[in-house]
Amino acid sequence: MNKPKYLYKSEESFKVFEFTSEGSKGEIRKLVQFSETGTENVYNLAFGDFDENTQEINDFSVTNNGDSQKVLTTVASTVYAFIDKHPEAMIFATGSTNARTRLYRIGITNNLTEISKDFVVFGLMKNGNHWEHFTVGVEYEAFLISKKENI
Amino acid sequence: MKTIDKLNNSKIPVITFNKKLEQFREVVLFPEKLEKANEILSKVGIPENLKR
């Protein structure tokens, strides 16, 4: 993906990343985490603003820093980095709100050709009872991404 | 060591490490999101194509 993104840093297991969003609201530190779930090889992707004062994460806030696309592209890049380190991993992602989930769907749609070169993407149907291959124009509740070799 | 061409064409940028991030490695920073993920996964599982 050659779209604009922030430089980011990680720790050695590539499960936690950080970068700084820069925009009209100033500099905001963002953390991305891939957490093990109860399902083998499935990791939950989440990211949010880190408040230096409270030392807490907020993934519900609407930062409105004017760089949402750049933030999403940066987070997408961390997925590549994480899976490069953990090739058998499946990445689960959903938004903290319906609007956020829709934003992720739009991001996947806009980059589907590029993503599909290396990954397979599944969407969880809105009734929440089965996965299907990601289809443009369909509303999903969550997403699951894995390297194509894992099928 | 990767050649310049490989680095330029890589989808993964050159990553620098921050040792301070290690403090978060074993901490669940987004417990509600993880709980929601586990609820969904326990109900639906993973796609058949990905099961081994």
Is the separation of the CB atoms in A47 and A91 below 8 Å?
no
Two structure tokens written together for A90: 């499946």
Q: How far B24 CA sits from the closest chain A CA (Å)?
A: 7
- The CA distance from B40 to B42, in Å, is 6
- pLDDT tens across B20-50, in order? 999 998 899 999 999 999 999 999 999 988 8
> Hey, of B46, B51, B52, which one would you mutate to test binding to chain A, going by the most A CBs within 10 A of its CB?
B46
Domain ranges of chain A: 9-150
Strand pairing report for A16-23 and A42-51: unpaired
Q: What is the ipTM of this complex?
A: 0.89
- Provide the residue ranges of all domains of chain B, joining segments of one domain with +: 4-50
* A1 interface with B at CB cutoff 8 Å: yes
pLDDT tens, residue by residue, A59-94: 665 556 778 888 988 999 999 999 999 999 999 999
